[in-house]
A = this chain, B = another copy of it.
């Protein structure tokens, strides 16, 4: 089980301190779990379940509050799949744009698209609509290769 490296902890502590927040054991454990489950896009409830193994007294409300806070300060970001609950993923410091997601409507697998590809489109829209774009959310719904191979779907 990989834990937070000391450089990661430093970075986290600084991000929090910048806005006047503290790095509590609970907050640390939550970030730890999110990092350890990178790519899994955990829901708040799932984070709660996992965090309890190393922080048994933690309350669900704390997880909700923390996850909101971490989103605010830009350590993690919310991913809405519109299935009734919010999911979260870490933001890597090298990332300067939100990546996109391919969502398989058959098996619910989520594939990340790291290529940006949206830059020229954004420029065009900013000009045409006189709108300053600060962020974006791009999701593609469809059928992944495994589900297509399985033969049931084309």
Contacts and interface: CB of A to CB of B under 8 A. Distances in A.
A111 B137 contact: no
B135 A142 contact: yes
Interface centre among A132, A134, A144, by most chain B C-beta atoms within 10 angstroms, is A132
B141 A138 contact: no
Nearest to A139: B137
Interface residues of A, number: 34
A143 interface: yes
Interface stretch (A17-25, A41-49, A50-58, A120-128): A120-128
Given A131-B140, A136-B140, A142-B133, A117 B124 contact: yes
A85 B70 CA distance: 23
Nearest to A137: B139
A103 to B, nearest CB: 9
Contacts of A82: 78, 80
A141 B134 contact: yes
Given A111-B129, A129-B102, A132-B148, A137 B141 contact: yes
B113 A125 contact: yes
Given A80-B80, A124-B117, A140-B125, A134 B111 contact: no
9 contacts: A102-B129, A102-B133, A117-B124, A130-B145, A135-B141, A135-B142, A136-B139, A136-B141, A137-B137
Given A102-B125, A102-B133, 15 more contacts: A104-B131, A105-B134, A125-B140, A130-B145, A131-B140, A131-B142, A133-B141, A133-B142, A135-B140, A135-B142, A136-B139, A136-B140, A137-B138, A137-B139, A138-B139
